[in-house]
Amino acid sequence: MYSYISLEHYAENRMSDFVVSARKYRPSTFKDVVGQGAIVNTLKNAIANNHLAQSFLFCGQRGVGKTTCARILAKTINCQNLTADAEACNECDSCKSFNEGRSFNIHELDAASSNSVDDIRALIEQVRFAPQAGKYKVYIIDEVHMLSASAFNAFLKTLEEPPAHAIFILATTEKHKIIPTILSRCQIFDFKRIQIKDIAAHLAYIARAEQIQAEPEALHILAEKSDGAMRDALSMFDRMVSFAGKELTYKKVIENLNILDYDYYFKVTGAILNADIYSALLIFDEILANGFDGHLFINGLGEHFRNLLVAKNPDTAILLEKGGALNEKYMAQASACTETLLFKGLSIISRCDISYKAAVNQRLLVEVTLVKLVNLLSAPESQALVPAKKVETPIVKPTPVSEYKQPVPLPQKVAEPKVENPSKAPASKPSFTSFTKIINENPAAQSSEKQYGGEAEKSEPLPEAALTAAWNEYGQSIKEKKISLYTILNTIVPKVLPDIPFTFEVTIESTFHQQALETEKAALLDFLKEKIGVKKLNMVISVSKIETKKKPYTAQEKYAHMKNKNPDIEKLVDQLGLGLDM
């Protein structure tokens, strides 16, 4: 028993030695604050010139230094030996008591848990007493937006006219939730997101202090994933050190954080530039085999295309925010891409991102997106995107006509060549040139070409079952976001018009429904065309005519209406001698 207690006590002591980096390396002076230079300089100048406000409001997202700056400000204004640049000395009794957590001049209130009127009244009672040592008593209220409305109102008068020895520092992540009367009584400081390069530099400093060999690319990934919050970056840094030990590599970081390697995106883009759809599909299959989600891949590919776009121009290259070696890699691949490819690629990827969650076969959706990206280079308007070394011989284009995917039926008016013995005539396939001649010489074919956008479409009626199924599927896809439109669509059954190719009709009850359907028409038709598998589709909207009977309003009309329904009413009027003058 004694041995067990001793081991447990030893383990507790060993565990208590560890302090998370967010606490261990928390700034204790203004010069240690990372990424908030403008705010730090303003506060230092106010202290040096004795222009301190009596109430401050620090706003910004989590982990950007709001509470840290509030504590440094509280310590600095009570320091007994300020330095020349308005920094706390960390040597006087006031600074030492603050650093050791035993200062009576600094009071912190967590409004997330203490947000009632009684909590604020207790704080106001403390405000009346002057500090025993030092010049100011500082009250830091964190997450102040969590105070109740009545607590805010109880706090107003004290905040507007506090005693000379009291200074209030309010901190919040949601400035919009604070009532205007509080905002007007405070000096407001908006803390910005810390830049990636600043976070990476601070992590490198901590790694050196902890004697950890860290690759710059690994620290850059941590800085990127922290989303501008230093505390999040330090938490991930501690986690990575626990996983990787004293050697923090890029490979170990992406493995532990489940991040897709940048090399995959460079390989996929290279396959797109080489018009190699098979390589692109194999790379995507490898990504799925490694346990990554298709949505994660498509989002990362969109970010990759965005980075290539900003890397093409020296003025926007600063938006890249990648490591030095990675920046050069992006610029090298960006030089092989054109802006047209990147613009259209981003549009295709964005549509895939929007449709991903609603897709039944999500893998197929991503694969079709990759096919579309590869086909960008083979599109007629994108021939210039193909690298010059890939073009070995000049391409001679035929006479410009519409491109047909299937044979066009020959017009009946065209005279057929005479054959003496038709049974012995050799069978021959119509050539592309013969179709060109027929279309150029026949006005009917040209009008058909204009009508169907230059493609020979089948004139067969639309499959009504497929149309109805696609219609219902679109309604389900918008059910959560557009409930009123879903209700309208749910009451409509589309009917195919057999006499008009690629056209169906819907009948609605009111002009209001008609306006709602017209607004959604373009997106609806795009969805239906993709599901049914046609390139042309038109929707005719008609409003049903409901005959409404005129209601009687005047006394004469009401009496006449009652007589028509029951002739005995007139006899009753005569028998009673009512003498109604109708």
Quote the CA–CA distance of 271 and 89 in Å, as a whole number: 60
In total, the chain counts a number of residues equal to: 582
Quote the CA–CA distance of 506 and 434 in Å, as a whole number: 41
Task: Report which of 563, 561, 560, 582 is spatially closest to residue 571, judged by C-alpha positions.
Answer: 563
Quote the CA–CA distance of 468 and 517 in Å, as a whole number: 16
Instruction: For 281-307, give the secondary structure using H, E and C.
Output: HHHHHHHHHCCCCHHHHHHHHHHHHHH
Quickly tell me which residue has 């119509």 as its tokens: 430
Checking 401-406 for CB contacts under 8 A at 24+ apart, the result is 401/435, 401/436, 401/439, 401/440, 402/439, 402/449, 402/454, 402/455, 403/454, 403/455, 404/435, 404/455, 404/456, 405/455, 405/456, 406/456
- Highest mean pLDDT of the ranges 365-374, 386-395, 483-492: 365-374
Share of the chain above pLDDT 70, in %: 80
Give the mean model confidence (pLDDT) for residues 385-412: 41
Cα distance from N-terminal residue to C-terminal residue, the chain: 111
Q: Which band of pLDDT confidence, cut at 50, 70 and 90, is reported for residue 403?
A: very low
Quote the CA–CA distance of 79 and 98 in Å, as a whole number: 10
Does residue 393 have a pLDDT over 50?
Answer: no
Sign of CA dihedral 90, 93, 95, 96: positive
Per-residue pLDDT tens over the stretch 117-127: 888 888 888 88
Specify the pLDDT at position 536. Answer: 82
The radius of gyration of the chain's CA atoms, rounded to the nearest angstrom, is 38
Sign of CA dihedral 158, 162, 163, 165: positive
266 phi and psi, to 5 degrees? -65, -40
Q: Which band of pLDDT confidence, cut at 50, 70 and 90, is reported for residue 348?
A: very high
Element (H, E) at 220: helix 216-225
H helices present in 226-321, as ranges: 230-244, 250-256, 262-273, 277-289, 294-311
Q: Which band of pLDDT confidence, cut at 50, 70 and 90, is reported for residue 553?
A: low
Specify the pLDDT at position 539. Answer: 87
Specify the pLDDT at position 83. Answer: 85
Sign of CA dihedral 445, 449, 454, 458: negative
Quote the CA–CA distance of 188 and 175 in Å, as a whole number: 10
Q: Which band of pLDDT confidence, cut at 50, 70 and 90, is reported for residue 531?
A: confident
Amino acid in the structure at residue 136: Y
Give the mean model confidence (pLDDT) for residues 139-157: 89
For residues 338 and 384, is the Cβ–Cβ distance under 8 A? yes
pTM (predicted TM-score) = 0.57
Quote the CA–CA distance of 322 and 400 in Å, as a whole number: 47
Per-residue pLDDT tens over the stretch 466-513: 888 888 888 888 877 787 788 888 888 888 887 778 888 888 877 777
Sequence-distant (6+) residues with CB within 8 A of 445 are 408, 411, 438, 439
Q: Angle CA(513)–CA(519)–CA(523) in degrees, nearest 5?
A: 120
More confident residue, 550 or 17: 17
Give the mean model confidence (pLDDT) for residues 56-71: 90
Residue 223 CB-density burial (10 A; 0-12 exposed, 13-18 middle, 19+ buried)? buried
248 phi and psi, to 5 degrees? -100, 105
For residues 370 and 281, is the Cβ–Cβ distance under 8 A? yes
Quote the CA–CA distance of 178 and 483 in Å, as a whole number: 33
For residues 98 and 78, is the Cβ–Cβ distance under 8 A? yes
More confident residue, 435 or 360: 360
Quote the CA–CA distance of 256 and 278 in Å, as a whole number: 30
Quote the CA–CA distance of 282 and 290 in Å, as a whole number: 12
Specify the pLDDT at position 353. Answer: 93
- Highest mean pLDDT of the ranges 11-15, 81-85, 356-360: 356-360
| Domains of the chain listed by start with CATH number | 21-190 (3.40.50.300), 196-256 (1.10.8.60), 262-385 (1.20.272.10), 464-543 (3.30.300.180), 549-582 (no CATH)
Task: Report which of 33, 36, 75, 77 is spatially closest to residue 54, judged by C-alpha positions.
Answer: 77
Specify the pLDDT at position 379. Answer: 55
Per-residue pLDDT tens over the stretch 189-215: 999 998 888 898 999 999 998 888 888
Per-residue pLDDT tens over the stretch 284-325: 999 999 888 899 999 999 999 999 998 888 888 878 877 667
